[in-house]
Amino acid sequence: MARKQKLLSMSQGNLTKAQQEAKLHAEILAADGLPQLQVTPPNHLDPIAKQEYKRIIQSLGTLPLRNLDRAELENYCSWYSVYKNTSIKMRNALKEGDEDEYYSYVSVLNKSTVNIKALASDLGLNVNSRLQMNMPKTEKKETDSLKGMFG
């Protein structure tokens, strides 16, 4: 598995000019001319999902998320709402001393966590996924001998 990508300004070590240019190119690819996401949350989201939508929209900055990604963002916000509501229900079940009800929510919490993590990665809501979606592909040169590989 490859290492997680870092911003050019946070990279340590000696990078070649080509590597520096590739990282810089990946960081500035966000301006693509596609329609922006709407700033206001859709009406069909519940209050918690709407609150998360507003938080995400304010933090997007120059991410390459556009109107094409709206359904995926709405899905993320909905799963976040499920996660938060389930957490509250679990806490209440513990306060009431009902362990059976508490453990019945564990699978819902797990499923929502898995979906949130997957959607966040797809949407570029973490550093690694933001850089990976814009990093240009490098072609590997094949060598026929060990001498060609190691010099």
Quote the pLDDT of residue 31: 45
Q: Which amino acid is at 52?
A: E
For the cut 90, the answer to whether the pLDDT of residue 35 exceeds it is no
Quote the pLDDT of residue 67: 78
Q: Which residues contact 22 (CB under 8 A, 6 or more apart)?
A: 135, 136, 138
Quote the pLDDT of residue 78: 97
64-86: string of b/e by CB count within 10 Å (b at 16+)?
Answer: bbeeebeeebbbbbbbbbbbebb
Average of per-residue pLDDT across 85-108: 93
Quote the pLDDT of residue 10: 56
Quote the pLDDT of residue 130: 67
Quote the pLDDT of residue 58: 84
Residue 30: which pLDDT band, with cuts at 50, 70 and 90?
very low
Query: What span, in angstroms and rounded, lies between the C-alpha atoms of 45 and 82?
Result: 11
**pTM for the model:** 0.65
First to last CA, the chain: 25
97: left (phi over 0), alpha (psi -120 to 50) or beta: left
Quote the pLDDT of residue 26: 65
